[in-house]
A and B are shown apart, each in its own frame.
Chain A
Amino acid sequence: MFIIIGIMFTGVAIGYLFKNLSFLRNTEKTISYTIILLLFILGLSIGSNKLIIDNLAAFGWQAAVIALSATCGSILASWMTLKLFFKKGGKR
């Protein structure tokens, strides 16, 4: 985790120092390509993982129940937080 944060701050420093270089402003495009690649690789490792593929039918629905309820819970809680603490007093 600290490596990841360290790399990101290195990027922040590079971006800040060289913000006049035009090719550094195309990060939005390259970021989306990188995400596509990352998820493709994640797919590869899931697909070739026998443990996951063989158990998908048996455990998949249980995992889906927990994932859906956990995600919904956090979405509702953050929605309430937005309404209660961030919308009052107009836009920040």
Chain B
Amino acid sequence: MKGSLIVLCFFIAGCMLGTTNLLPSGIQESHLSTYILYALMLQVGISIGSNPNLKAIIRQIRWKFLLIPLATVTGTLLFSACASLLLTQWSVFDCMAVGSGFAYYSLSSILITQLKEASLGVQLAAELGTIALLANIFREMIALLGTPLLVRYFGKLAPISAAGVNSMDVVLPMISQFSGKDMIPIAIFHGILIDLSVPVFVSLFCRL
């Protein structure tokens, strides 16, 4: 929990520093966060590779692990549809399109803004795209900060599903720490499948 709070503090500090105009403008255009993500993935890889139980972990992979991404997709879409009851200005499919970003905020917001332009017009499409961006950032934060609690109350698969695509990168170290190292292959497998499903579902719900 303490680790999550430190992460949250740094995130908020970053937001606040970002709103001031103290930073050189080049930071936005440089792909700094991408390179840090690469560095993170290299370290995650090293920690997996140097794990003495690596072979035992790989041997535990089963077909039923496919049920986890299936559960993530089903639960997300069903409850996103329910959210449209509260958000009366958006249709069921609009809400499902936002939900099917599965925390992939950059891709889902761009896709929604572009694909919805034809049916909603530029203004509303940009609004839904912004909602998608925010909603999927929120989801990443919930998974990243909530993992210790999610494991305690909903079991070791909960942070994997909550993280969506991020179960294979940003949230993976938290999953490994709180759900157990044996969850790493499941989390990566889950992340890859969800990642592939994002463009499919987002474009599907944008056309309905």
Contact = CB atoms under 8 A, between A and B. Distances in A.
A81 to B, nearest CB: 4
Interface in A51-92: 51-53, 55-56, 59-60, 62-83, 85-86, 92
Given A66-B98, A66-B99, A73 B76 contact: yes
Contacts of A64: 134-135, 138
Contact residues on B (Cβ < 8 Å of other chain), bracket:
35 or more
Interface string A4-34: 1101111111111111000011011011101
Contact residues on A (Cβ < 8 Å of other chain), bracket:
35 or more
A8 B44 contact: yes
B158 interface: yes
B33 interface: yes
Contacts, number: 280
Contact of A70 (B38, B60, B83, B188): B83
Given A46-B15, A68-B142, A70-B139, 14 more contacts: A4-B37, A8-B48, A15-B51, A28-B47, A31-B47, A36-B6, A44-B27, A46-B14, A63-B98, A72-B75, A73-B77, A77-B74, A79-B154, A80-B71
Interface of B: 3, 6-7, 10-19, 23, 27-28, 32-33, 36-52, 54, 60, 64, 67-68, 70-72, 74-80, 82-83, 86-87, 90, 95, 98-99, 127, 130-139, 142-144, 150, 154-158, 160-162, 164, 168-170, 173, 177, 188, 192, 195
